[in-house]
Amino acid sequence: MGYSVHGPKARTGGQGQGLLPKESLYLIEICKGLFITMRHLVRNVFHMGDMPTLQYPDEKPDYGPWLRGRHRLMKREDGSPRCVACQMCSTICPADCISIMAMDDDRPDVEKSPETFDIDLLRCVYCGLCVEACPCDAIRMDTGIFEIAADNRAAFQVDMDFLLNNTTDGVKS
Amino acid sequence: MPDITELLWALGKIGFMLAVILGTLPVMIWAERKGAAYIQDRSGPNRASIGGVFRLGGLIHPLADVFKLVFKEEIVPAGVNVFFYHLAPIIMMTVALSTFAVIPFGDVLLLGTREIPLLVANLNVGILYILAISSLTVYGTVLAGWSSNNKFAFLGGLRASAQMISYEINMGLAVLALILVYGSVRLNDMVVAQGDLLWGFIPAWGVVLQPVGFVLFLVALFAETNRNPFDLPEGESELVAGYHLEYSSLKFALFFMAEYCNMIVGAAVVSTLYFGGWQVPWLTTEGLRENAGTLLTVSLSVGTLLNLLFATGLWRKFQGERGTLGDRRELESGILAVVFLGLALATGGYLLVGKPWDIGPAASAHFATVMQIGQFITKTLLFSWVFIWVRWTLPRFRYDQLMRLGWQYMLPLALLNFVVTAAFVLFTHG
Amino acid sequence: MAKMTIDGKEHEFEDGMNLFEACAVARGENLPHFCYHPGLSIAGVCRMCQVEVEGMPKLMIACNSQVKDGMVVHTRNERVDGAVRQILNFHLLHHPVDCPVCDQAGECSLQDFYMANGLYEADVDIEDKIAKGKVKPIGEMVMLDAERCVLCARCTRFTTEITQTHEMGIFNRGDHSEIDVAPGKTLDNNYSLNTVDICPVGALTSRDFRFRRRVWWLSETDGICHGCATGCNMSIHHSEGIVYRTKPRDNMDVNRYWMCDHGRTLYHEIAESDRLTQPSVRKARGELAQTASWDHAYRSIEAAGKALGGDDAALMIILSPHATVEELYAAKSVLSDSVGGALLGYRLRGSEIGEGDELLFDADRTPNAAGAKKLGLAEYDAKQLEAAANEKTMLLVVGGDLALAAPDAGAALSKFGCVVYLGWQENSTSMLADIVLPTSHYAEREGTFVNREGRAQTFAAAIDAPGEARDPLRVIRELGALFGHEPTWDGIEAVRSELCAREGAFAAMAQGVGPLGLALDAAAESEVERA
Ligand code: SF4
Ligand code: SF4
Ligand code: SF4
Ligand code: SF4
Ligand code: FES
C-alpha cells in the first residue's frame, strides 16, 4: 500500500504502521541510530588504515590478470603484426569500433596482413569479444591499462602503430 | 549617549563574534564532509594541499571551495525578479549573523575597574529578539524560491515557509516554559541562573529543568534551520536543490554559508538556553578566579602531555609514510610533529619557568574569562556537531510526516509542557 | 510423370529429371554438393550428394541419377548423414583451413557443410598435410590456392564446356592431385571470373576483389550490366556506399549463370576520379571550366539562351543509348515535344561497336540501343551534326561520348552557340561542353534497359550518388521547368506509367517487368493474339 496524506487512515495507519509502541516513540531508536553512526566514526578515526578506500592515483587497484584493459596487437618474431586481417574481431565487435583494411602481403609465408587497424576507444565497451574471436591470438587486452583518458577525441582513435607498441605497464604478474 | 570607547568596545565584540562564526564556518564544512565520510566508512576529502605539503586532513578543501565559488560564473536565469532574486541571499546571511548579537559568550570582563559584559547587545528582550530575527529567515527562502522563476525553487520556498511557521510555534512554546523557569527574557540572566547547583551537585542547566522542552526545542531548531531530517525545502531527490536551485557562484555561497551560520547560531542558542552557556560546570566566575592558579597549572600540564602525544603520533606516521607517496606530502606529518613538539616545549617551559600556580588577581580574572569563552565555544561546536551527526544518521522525513509530527505530536506536547511548568512554578515560587 | 517418395513425402516429377534437382525441390534446399552445377555437365566426383534409394544396396549420388516412377529416396537419415560426414572429412583431410585469410570465408561450401554436418576434430596435423601451390596468380583476374581445392572439377569443366579454352586441368594422382593451368597457359579469357564464382571453396579467388571486403558485410542489389547490349543480369555487392564487386544473377533467358569479365569490372568506374560530382560552367570558349552550384549552372543556361537570341535561339538535343528508357522518353517528351527542341538522334551511326563473341559479349557496347529504337529515335551521322551546328543553337547532349566516337563530331560541337552536357563521367565530350551537369551512375539510380533481344530489364539503385550528382530524370525535369514546360510527372514511377500509356512498344511494361525482365516483342505478340 502506498501512503495517503489525508483522512483517518493516515492518522491511524500511516505513521506508526508496523512499529512496536516502543519504536514509535522514535527518540530511543534515533539514539540507537546515532550510536551506530558514532561507532563507525570512532572506529574509522582510530583505525584509519582499515578503511576500504583506495587513495586512487597514489595507490592503484590490483585487478588481476583477468582485467580487460586497453588493447594491444601482438607481434611476430620479426616485429610485424601477427594479425592476418581476418576481421573476425571487427565482425564480432558489438560497438563496431574496430576498422581494418587488409592488404596483400608479399612475404612468402604471409598471405594477408592489415594495412590499417584502428580502434575507436571511445566507442569500445571493453567486452573482450574481439580477443575471444581472434583466431591468431593477435589482439589482447592484457596490458592492464584501464586509465584511458584524454582531453580530445582524436587521442582515442588508436592506430596499428600505437596498438603494436602499447605498453604492458601495469600488468601484475 | 554611549561614549566613544563604549562604541569601540561594541565594535570589538562584533568583530570577535564575526571572527568566531566565520572562522568556525570552514571548520563546520570540513567537519560535515569528513564526519560524513567517516560515518560512511570512507576517507573523505584529503587531497587539496598548500604547497603540495599541507593537507591538514582535508581542512584545505573549504578554502579551495571558497576560491571555486568565487571564480565560478554568475548565472542569472532569464525571467527572475531581479530585485528579490538578489535580495534573498542577503537576507539569509544578514539574519543568520545578526542573531548572534544577543548571545552572551562570557561573564563580564574585568579591565582595571571597568566591567565589560561579554555580549554585543544586552537587550532586555534577548530571547524574543532571537525568535523574531530568526523568523525572518523564511523571507530569504520564500523570496529566493519565488523570484527564481523555477517550479522546483518555488515549491522549495513554499515548503520552507509552511515548515518554519509550523515549527516556530513549538519553539516559542518551549522557550516560554524556559522563561517561566528563569523568570527573565534576558539571555545573560538565564545563563547566570544556570550556574547554580541543584541539590548541591547537579548543574542547574536548562536541560535538567526542562528535559521535554529541550527535546521540543531541538527538534524545532532542526526544522527551523532546514537541516536533515527536515531539509525538505531543498530535498534534492524531488526538488533538485529547492529554493536555491537557480543560484550560482557567490550568491549560492551566501546560501551555503547561511545554512552553516544558522547551524552555529542554533548551536549557540541551545547551549545558552539549555546547557549553561559560558558557565563552566561547578565553577562560578568567582570560583574560577580564585582557583585560577591551580586550574592553569592543570590545564598547562594536560596541554603539554597532549601536545607530546600528538607529536609522537605524527612522528610515527611520518616514519610510516616515508617513501609511500613519493612526493612532498610525506613531509607534512614530520613538520606537524615538530610544531606540536614546539608547542609542548612552550607550555612545558612556561609550566616550569612561569610559576603558573602563582598568578596575580588581574591575570586570574582574564583567565576566568578565557575559560568561559572557551567553554562557550566548545559547547557551540559540540552542538554544531550534533547537527552534522544527526544529518548523517537519519533519513529525510516525508512532508506529511513532517506536518503531522509538528502539529499532532509536538504542539500538544509543548502545550502540556508549558502548562505543567507554569503550574510547577506557581506552586513552588507562588 | 514419375510418382516418387522423398523423405516420406509423395512427389511427382517429370520423367528423367535429375534426382539432385528433384531432391532440391522436395527438400527446399540443395543436397550437400561440390561438383554439381546446373550449367555444367555431371561429373559426380565429390560424392557429397549421396542419398539412399530403397532397393539399392549402396548409397547413390543424386546428381548422377534420374527420377523413376515408384522411387523411394531418403536424403536425411543416419546412413546418409554418416556418409556425408565421412566424405567431408575426406575432403578436409589435407585442407589448409586458412579461413582467416581466405576470401571465400562466409560463402564457402566447405565451411557451410562443416557447420551443418561436420564439427569433428581434425584427423591430420597441420604439419602432415600435403603442401601444394598457394597464392598463385593464374591469370589477370584469378588467384589459385591449390591446397584449398576440393577437386570438384567445376573450373575444368567450365573451361572445357563453356569457354572451350581448356586452360585448367587436374594434375598428378591420388592425394597429390592438384588443380592448375595447363603448362604455358594462363587463365585469361574474358570469362575467367566465372571460375571464381563456381569454385565452391577458396581455391580460386578474384584478384580484383581480393581482401577488399569480407563478404558478410556486403549487401546485394539487383543490377543490369551496362557493358554491352546483352544486358547480363547481375547483383551489385556493396557496403557502406561502396561497390565492391558484381556477380552474375541467374537468368536462363539472358546470361544463364555467367557474366564476362569486362562487365564485371566496370563497377570500378563508380569510384574513379573522373566522376563528375559538381556542375561546372565555362565563362567563354577557351577558358577553364569552373565548378558551380546547380543554381548557378541553371542560371548560366538561361543566360546563354538569352545571349543566343532569346526566343530566336534554337535548342537541339542529342540522346545516347547509354540512357535508360525512362530518361530517353522523358527527354523526348519534355525537351523535344513540349519545349520544342530538335531531336537529332540517339546515336552517332556506327559508334561504339567493337568485337563480340558467341557466348555473351555483344559487339554493341551500349546497353539500351534497342530501347531507343523502340521509342522511335534514330541514328545520326557526323554530317547531320555538322549541318545542324550554328551559332544560334544550344546543344544538349544527354550521356555518351560522341566526341570520342568520332573526332570530327567533336569539332562540330564547338560550332554550337552553347553545349550543355549531362553525364556522370568526364570524357572528351564533357571537356568540350560549356556547361556540365553531373548525374548519377547506373548503380546509383533506377531505370530500365532493353537488351539486344528486346527484353526490358529494370535495375535498382544500390548506393547514393557522390557529391552533388543528380538523377538524370530530375535534371531533365528541372531543365523542362527552366524552359517553361515543367512536366506533370515526378519520380520514375510516374514516368514509367506515362511511358507505358503513350508508347505502344512499352505498353506491356504496365504490369511490371519482374526480376528477370520482360521480352517486349513476345509480350506484345501474345497481347495481340489474346485480343
Ligand atoms: S573489447 Fe568489445 S567493444 Fe572493444 S573493441 Fe573489442 S569487441 Fe569491440
Ligand atoms: S581477429 Fe585477430 S587476426 Fe583477425 S583481424 Fe582481428 S586481430 Fe587480426
Ligand atoms: S576454402 Fe573455405 S574452408 Fe577452405 S580456407 Fe577458404 S573459407 Fe576456409
Ligand atoms: S579450383 Fe575450385 S572449381 Fe576448380 S576443382 Fe578446385 S574446388 Fe573445384
Ligand atoms: S554433387 Fe554429386 S557427386 Fe558432386
Residues of chain A with C-beta less than 8 angstroms from the C-beta of C212: 102
Start-to-end CA distance of chain B, whole Å, equals 39
**DSSP strand pairing (C379-380 vs C347-348):** parallel
Say if residue C284's pLDDT is above 80.
yes
A101 near B CB under 8 A: no
> Which pLDDT does position C256 carry in this prediction?
93
A37 near B CB under 8 A: yes
Residue C488 CA from chain centroid, whole number: 32
Q: Across residues C262-282, what is the average pLDDT?
A: 94
Burial of residue C374 (CB within 10 Å: 0-12, 13-18, 19+) is buried
How much helix, strand and coil, in percent to the nearest 5, is found in chain A? Answer: 30, 15, 55
**Interface touch C101/A103, C-beta < 8 Å:** no
Is it true that the peptide bond before C38 is cis, omega within 30 degrees of 0? no
Residues of chain C with C-beta less than 8 angstroms from the C-beta of A87: 214
Range with the poorest average pLDDT among B295-309, C78-92, C322-336? B295-309
For C62-81, how does the pLDDT look when each residue is reduced to its tens digit (9 = 90+)?
999 999 999 999 999 999 99
A24 near B CB under 8 A: no
Give the position of cell 544529518.
B391
ipTM of the complex: 0.82
pLDDT-based confidence at residue A17 (cuts at 50, 70, 90): low
Total residue count of chain C as it appears in this document? 531
Q: At what angle do helices B249-274 and B60-71 cross, to 10 degrees?
A: 140
> Which pLDDT does position A9 carry in this prediction?
45
pLDDT-based confidence at residue A6 (cuts at 50, 70, 90): very low
> How far does residue A122's CA lie from ligand 1's centre (Å)?
11
Say if residue C440's pLDDT is above 90.
yes
> Which pLDDT does position A97 carry in this prediction?
95
Q: Cβ contacts of residue B410 below 8 Å, gap of 6+?
A: B167, B170, B216, B219, B220
Say if ligand 5 is within 6 A of residue C48 CB. yes
**Interface touch A58/B325, C-beta < 8 Å:** yes
Say if residue A10's pLDDT is above 50.
no
Q: Kindly state the percentage of chain C with pLDDT values over 90.
A: 74
Residues of chain C with C-beta less than 8 angstroms from the C-beta of A102: 211-212
Residue by residue, DSSP assigns C415-463 as TSSEEEEEESB--HHHHH-SEEEEB--GGGS-EEEE-TTSEEEEE---S
- Residue to substitute from A82, A87, A92, A137, interface C, most C β-carbons within 10 A: A87
Say if residue C241's pLDDT is above 70.
yes
Give the position of cell 551511326.
C349
For C15, the enclosing helix (H) or strand (E) is none
More confident residue, B172 or C312: B172
Grid coordinates representing C284? Answer: 567563354
Q: Across residues C235-255, what is the average pLDDT?
A: 95
> How far does residue A104's CA lie from ligand 2's centre (Å)?
15
Say if residue C238's pLDDT is above 50.
yes
pLDDT-based confidence at residue A173 (cuts at 50, 70, 90): very low
pLDDT-based confidence at residue A19 (cuts at 50, 70, 90): low
- The CB-side HSE value for C520 (13 A sphere, CA atoms) comes to 25
**Interface touch A104/C211, C-beta < 8 Å:** yes
pTM here?
0.74
Contact partners for chain B, using 3 or more CB pairs closer than 8 A, are A
Give the position of cell 538578489.
B86
For ligand 2, what atom is nearest to the CA of residue A134? 1
Give, for all 430 residues of chain B, the pLDDT tens digit. 557 877 887 888 888 888 888 888 888 888 888 888 888 888 888 888 887 777 887 888 888 888 888 888 888 888 888 888 888 888 888 888 888 888 887 777 767 667 777 777 777 777 888 888 888 888 888 888 888 888 888 888 888 888 888 888 888 888 888 888 888 888 877 887 777 777 767 777 877 778 888 888 988 888 888 887 888 777 777 777 778 888 888 888 888 888 888 888 888 888 888 888 777 777 777 777 777 777 778 888 888 888 888 888 888 888 877 777 777 777 788 888 888 888 888 888 887 787 777 777 777 777 778 888 888 888 888 888 988 898 888 888 888 888 888 888 888 888 998 898 888 888 886 5
Q: Using only C-alpha atoms, what is the Rg of chain A?
A: 28
Q: Across residues C370-383, what is the average pLDDT?
A: 91
Cα separations in angstroms, C116 against A47, A61, C111, C112, C352: 64, 47, 9, 6, 50
Phi, psi angles (nearest 5°) of residue C56:
-100, 135
Pocket test for ligand 1, best of A96, A130, A158 (most atoms within 8 A of CB): A130
Determine how many CB atoms are found less than 10 A away from the CB of residue B229. 19
Say if ligand 5 is within 6 A of residue C469 CB. no
Q: How far is A130 from chain C (nearest CA, A)?
A: 14
* Ramachandran quadrant class, B20 (left: phi over 0; alpha: psi -120 to 50; beta: rest): alpha
For C138-190, how does the pLDDT look when each residue is reduced to its tens digit (9 = 90+)?
999 999 999 999 999 999 999 999 999 999 999 999 889 999 999 999 999 99
**Using CB atoms, which residue from A84, A91, A104 is nearest to C214?**
A91
**Interface touch B43/A45, C-beta < 8 Å:** no
> How far does residue A32's CA lie from ligand 2's centre (Å)?
61
**DSSP strand pairing (C178-181 vs C168-171):** antiparallel
Nearest residue to B207 (alpha-carbon basis) of B174, B229, B230: B174
Grid coordinates representing B117? Answer: 559584559
Say if residue C214's pLDDT is above 50.
yes
Give the position of cell 603494436.
A164
The rounded distance, in Å, linking the Cα atoms of B225 and B255 is 12
Grid coordinates representing C56? Answer: 539399392
**Interface touch A45/B40, C-beta < 8 Å:** no
The rounded distance, in Å, linking the Cα atoms of B144 and B156 is 9
Grid coordinates representing C34? Answer: 561440390
Q: Across residues C351-360, what is the average pLDDT?
A: 90
Q: Across residues C225-230, what is the average pLDDT?
A: 94
Say if ligand 5 is within 6 A of residue C328 CB. no
The rounded distance, in Å, linking the Cα atoms of C271 and C274 is 8
Range with the poorest average pLDDT among A22-31, C316-325, C489-498, C518-527? A22-31
For A53-92, how does the pLDDT look when each residue is reduced to its tens digit (9 = 90+)?
888 887 888 888 888 999 999 999 888 999 999 999 999 9
Residues of chain C with C-beta less than 8 angstroms from the C-beta of A112: 100-101, 211
Q: How far is A135 from chain C (nearest CA, A)?
A: 7
pLDDT-based confidence at residue A21 (cuts at 50, 70, 90): low
> Which pLDDT does position A7 carry in this prediction?
42
> Which pLDDT does position A20 carry in this prediction?
65
The rounded distance, in Å, linking the Cα atoms of C55 and C72 is 8
Say if residue C404's pLDDT is above 80.
yes
> Which pLDDT does position B430 carry in this prediction?
56
The rounded distance, in Å, linking the Cα atoms of B263 and B257 is 10
* Ramachandran quadrant class, A12 (left: phi over 0; alpha: psi -120 to 50; beta: rest): alpha
Q: Which ligand is nearest to the CA of A119?
A: 1
- Sign of the alpha-carbon dihedral angle for C277, C279, C285, C287: negative
Q: Across residues C110-135, what is the average pLDDT?
A: 84
The rounded distance, in Å, linking the Cα atoms of B102 and C233 is 100
For ligand 1, what atom is nearest to the CA of residue A126? 1
Grid coordinates representing B90? Answer: 542577503
Say if residue A172's pLDDT is above 80.
no
Q: How far is B408 from chain A (nearest CA, A)?
A: 10
Q: Which of A6-20, A51-65, A143-157 has the highest mean pLDDT?
A: A143-157
Q: At what angle do helices B249-274 and B126-135 cross, to 10 degrees?
A: 150
**Interface touch C101/A88, C-beta < 8 Å:** no
The rounded distance, in Å, linking the Cα atoms of A70 and C446 is 46
Grid coordinates representing B18? Answer: 564575526
The rounded distance, in Å, linking the Cα atoms of B135 and B224 is 8
Residue C228 · residue C356 · CB < 8 Å: yes
> How far does residue C117's CA lie from ligand 4's centre (Å)?
21
Range with the poorest average pLDDT among A101-110, B112-121, C96-105, C501-510? B112-121
Q: Cβ contacts of residue C147 below 8 Å, gap of 6+?
A: C94, C95, C96, C129, C130, C131, C132, C133, C134, C203
Say if ligand 1 is within 6 A of residue A156 CB. no
Q: Across residues C278-303, what is the average pLDDT?
A: 91
**Interface touch C100/A84, C-beta < 8 Å:** yes
Grid coordinates representing C219? Answer: 549487401
Q: Kindly state the percentage of chain B with pLDDT values over 90.
A: 0
Grid coordinates representing C299? Answer: 542560371
**Using CB atoms, which residue from C98, C135, C211 is nearest to A102?**
C211
**Using CB atoms, which residue from C211, C216, C217 is nearest to A112?**
C211
Residues of chain C with C-beta less than 8 angstroms from the C-beta of A136: 100
Say if ligand 2 is within 6 A of residue A84 CB. yes
